[in-house]
Chains A and B, each alone.
Chain A
Amino acid sequence: MLDWLSPEAATALMLSLRVSLVATLASLPVGVLVAYALARGRFVGHGLLNGLVHLPLILPPVVTGYLLLLTFGRQGWIGASLWDWFGFTFAFRWTGAALAAAVMAFPLLVRAIRLAIEAVDPKLEEAASTLGASRLVVFGTVTLPLILPGIIAGAVLAFAKAMGEFGATITFVANIPGETQTLPTAIYAFLQVPGGDGAALRLVAVSVAVAMAALALSEWLARRVARRIAGR
């Protein structure tokens, strides 16, 4: 199926899909937790957490990538410990690309889920508590099913953002074919060599197709869930 793509381009596509999927799935539980805390929590540092989550949206991606390198690089203050204790590193690995994509997509993920949580009537949660549900059970049986459309929307948005992430990725994990060369960095690489335009264009077409497919999927899912939640 991928015959018309060069092996290098096909590898970049598969890697991008893997990086984006892992980034989305791994950040989803954290995203729900943070969104819930921001939407419903009243605690010291609320504003700080909010700012921190949104930082990658505002900072130049190169800065985010460099900060990731400083933190999670093999000499970084977290990265060094990870390497010493577990022999694991994000630096110049595909997992690093996933981390960079997750961090960059996180604000979009949290924002979509937070909006969904804020749209849930707290009165329904009160009603559930008078029926004997603890806060955790209320979340699992009332809040979570009701915010499912928001979670889906957030996940799709995060996935699309991860597919397109460039600046932080190339700064943090460079552009190593087969390891960290994702779709956008591959397009960039193709454009750097004479005669690479054709390969680049094909990857551009793939990018568009993946984005459209993801959007269609999320629309379909969201419509189904919305119908359920409207109580019809």
Chain B
Amino acid sequence: MTLDIHLRHAFPDFRLDVDMVLPGGLTCLFGRSGSGKTSIVNAVAGLLRPDDARVVLDGMVLNDLPPHLRGVGYVFQDARLFPHMTVAENLTYAARIRRRKVEGQARVVELLGIGGLLSRRPGTLSGGEKQRVAIGRALLATPRLLLMDEPLAALDEARKAEILPYIEALRDETGLPILYVSHALPEVARLATTIAVIEAGRVAAIGPAAEILSDPVTAQHLGLRDAGAVLTAWIASHEEDGLTRLETAAGPLWLPHVAGAPGRAVRVRIAAQDVILSRVRPVGLSALNILPGTVVALHEGHGPGVLVRMSLGSEFLLARLTRRSAQALGLAPGVAVHAVLKSVAVAQADIGAASPVAR
């Protein structure tokens, strides 16, 4: 799958000027609110008619079509369920208006865990339930592309944690390309296979998620506090003391219990500010995780901080330290270092499913 998006549009207060080619998988449009992310997905859906647009999905030109002929599903931030219909009627809406048989309803209902809600009305559902039904409704319209505009933004942390696994399953099991708008980095780190950073109506950076997240230069765009790389790992074993041993390209990683059977692939986001660097392999340290690697790049910001990108085999890790520390350690590209990471520093919310093919 490829999705070409070329858009130009002059809003009263800012200009949208976007050129990008997206691969399959889940692409996150990441950026601050007001950066133009929603305008981009609205233009792809046909809800916004830009001054100049070219949107091509796998050779099919979408930009001349009205929204209802584009075959593009849309999950809105506010679920927008039809209040006068039951959950089941909402789910089958697309099939009913086309007078088609509903296909794959059982599978979608199971994937989203909404079997118990079918006869309910939207007014009686929780925010998380509404959003799952909205995802199901969009999927059952059998779209060629799914747009999701901050589908979790209106939900509290518990509801987010409830829905994230469903979106991961969508990404890994359906093969449906997804364009996902978000301004929450932890969410992006868990879900994205590709990241496009949107700033002031333009694409500031675009690339595979692991690269963008571990690139010290783009990390500036993502927000320093939230900067952090994503490692792909496999669950090796659950140990007696409650820790789970994960295998990464750089060696073993012990984290507080990670759900899943041994062999399951997971993505672990490691915040840059939780990583300590050492020139020699430390001994007599309480931290369990010590991963050897090599410094690839340093990026100095305006403040006293430095972002260091180090490679661990085929993966990258990002560490945030002070400029003073970096000088004291003599860090420079090519220098061998050890990354030290406290097990408990990784939050459960930063561990998600990974599709083996997404690597």
Q: In the complex, are the beta carbons of A232 and B123 less than 8 A apart?
A: yes
A128–B98 CA distance with the chains assembled, in angstroms: 12
Q: Is B352 an interface residue (CB 8 A)?
A: no
Q: In the complex, are the beta carbons of A231 and B47 less than 8 A apart?
A: no
Q: What's the least CB distance linking B287 to chain A, in Å?
A: 49
Which residues of B does A touch, CB under 8 Å?
Answer: 45-47, 66-74, 76, 78, 80-84, 93-94, 97-98, 121-124, 137-138, 141
A232 contact from B46, B66, B94, B124, Cβ within 8 A: B124
Q: In the complex, are the beta carbons of A123 and B68 less than 8 A apart?
A: no
A130–B141 CA distance with the chains assembled, in angstroms: 9
B47 contact from A126, A137, A141, Cβ within 8 A: A126
Residues of chain A with a CB closer than 8 A to B74's CB: 127, 130
Q: Is A133 an interface residue (CB 8 A)?
A: yes
A232–B119 CA distance with the chains assembled, in angstroms: 11
Q: Is A230 an interface residue (CB 8 A)?
A: yes
Q: In the complex, are the beta carbons of B138 and A145 less than 8 A apart?
A: no
Q: What's the least CB distance linking B62 to chain A, in Å?
A: 12
Nearest to B71 among chain A residues (CB) is A132
B123 contact from A121, A134, A230, Cβ within 8 A: A230
Chain A interface, >50% SS class: helix
Q: What's the least CB distance linking A92 to chain B, in Å?
A: 45
A127–B97 CA distance with the chains assembled, in angstroms: 13
Q: In the complex, are the beta carbons of B94 and A132 less than 8 A apart?
A: yes
Q: Is A58 an interface residue (CB 8 A)?
A: no
Bitwise, A132-173 to B at CB < 8 A (1) or not (0) is: 111001000110011000000000000000000000000000
Q: In the complex, are the beta carbons of B123 and A130 less than 8 A apart?
A: no
Q: What's the least CB distance linking B78 to chain A, in Å?
A: 7
Residues of chain A with a CB closer than 8 A to B76's CB: 123, 127
Residues of chain B with a CB closer than 8 A to A231's CB: 81, 83-84, 121-124
Nearest to A146 among chain B residues (CB) is B84
Looking at B72, B121, B122, the one whose CB has the most chain A CB atoms below 10 A away is B121
Residues of chain A with a CB closer than 8 A to B47's CB: 126, 129-130
Q: Is A131 an interface residue (CB 8 A)?
A: yes
Q: In the complex, are the beta carbons of B66 and A131 less than 8 A apart?
A: no
Residues of chain B with a CB closer than 8 A to A145's CB: 84
> 9 more A-B contacts (CB under 8 A) besides A129-B46, A229-B83?
A126-B47, A126-B80, A127-B74, A129-B47, A131-B94, A131-B141, A141-B97, A228-B84, A231-B121
